[in-house]
Amino acid sequence: MPSATATITEPMLDTLIGRLHDVRVQVPGRLVFTTSFGREDQAILHAIVAASLDVALVTLDTGRLFPETYDLWAETEARYGVRIRAVYPDAEALATYVGSHGINGFRDAKELRLACCHIRKVAPLATALDGAEGWITGLRSGRTEGEIVPLIARDEARGMWKAAPLADWSVEEVIEFCARHDVPVNALHAAGFPSIGCAPCTRAVLPGEPERAGRWWWESDDQRECGLHLGPDGRLVRSRPS
């Protein structure tokens, strides 16, 4: 795949489109892009639509998203003339969980938080990717210290290709790309939310904190993930330098 230049220029859109086109060629079957409407996802969606690529657009509606996220969802569909398929949690599983642990029971123990994430995100992702041969994500390297994200690799846990066309972009490059191309972004970014998930589980970051410090901030361990990018052994699919 083409490599990104160090500085955002107008050809950057061509670079992003080129990477996505290469993924489309490499993956002959169904190709799914899952968006959570973060900056990275908005940049990728912009390129997919600009190139009229045959990629399914999907989002996981957990039922606990910020109002600003739902507003951006509607704005994005109107701006690009697309419909983004929503996949929802299983109603019975969710009712059982809330009935047993309460609406905010995920605060009581990490195991309960992971169970909530599984019902609201991980299981719906499996539905979204059912029958797919490739998965496009908005992952970037460096969002967690030392983290390295490949541009494309086999996701052996799911038996498909997993692509991250912005893997080597910095947050500054993503911000500049969105500004240059008038890509709509979540209003919460301007309020100190670089990483946005469910409303009860996301806060603004403090000066000097890493991008994902505002996610599940009440947990003390360094590896706070929802399970979307974990392998069957419970470890991050993303790799770290040795």
End-to-end C-alpha distance for the chain, whole angstroms: 25
Tell me if 73 sits within 8 A of 84, measured CB to CB.
yes
Longest dimension (CA), the chain: 53
Listed in order, strand segments (DSSP E) in the chain are 31-34, 56-60, 85-87, 134-136, 152-155, 160-163
Strand order in the sheet with 160-163: 85-87, 56-60, 31-34, 134-136, 160-163, 152-155
Told to judge if 117 belongs to the known catalytic residues of this protein, a careful annotator would answer no
117, 198, 201, 226: the active-site residue: 226
Q: Annotated catalytic sites, by residue?
A: 226
